[in-house]
Amino acid sequence: MDGAAPDPVVTAALQEIRASRGRLRIRRLAARVSTSERHLQRRFREHVGFTPKQLAGLERFRAAVRSMHREPRRPLHGIAVRCGYYDQPHFVREIRRYSGLTPTTLRSRLAAADPT
């Protein structure tokens, strides 16, 4: 943001996305912040630099990484479902998009980096 006052619609949308850990559909998000999808997309891109959908994907990824780290024995498909991924390919694609690694490799690296 450029020093201007925060946009209340964008601020509310950011809070909703974070609270849902990225599992909130954009149509529902727009309704919750009392605006249209198109208007939300434009305002979000203007103030944040990317779309609500992109931020939702990043929030899902963050939730998945936390889950992999905290529950290293939990099956990956269980993490995918819990974090709001539609199916295994969606999970793999999004993990790879943000980390450059497969979920299995990412989990292994998280475990190797854990000092406990």
Q: What is the model's pLDDT at position 43?
A: 93
Q: What is the model's pLDDT at position 2?
A: 54
Helices (H), 7-113: 8-20, 26-32, 37-48, 52-70, 76-82, 88-99, 103-113
- Section 94-98 average pLDDT: 97
Give the start-to-end residue ranges of the domains of the chain: 8-52, 56-113
Q: What is the model's pLDDT at position 113?
A: 86
CA dihedral 33, 49, 80, 28 (to 10 degrees): 20
* CATH entry, 56-113, from 1.10.3470, 1.10.10, 1.10.1760, 2.60.40: 1.10.10
Q: What is the model's pLDDT at position 1?
A: 45
Q: How confident is the model at residue 116 (pLDDT cuts 50, 70, 90)?
A: low
Q: How confident is the model at residue 14 (pLDDT cuts 50, 70, 90)?
A: very high
pLDDT in tens, 15-73: 999 999 888 899 999 999 999 999 999 999 999 998 999 999 999 999 999 999 999 99
For residue 104, which amino acid is it?
T
- Section 3-19 average pLDDT: 88
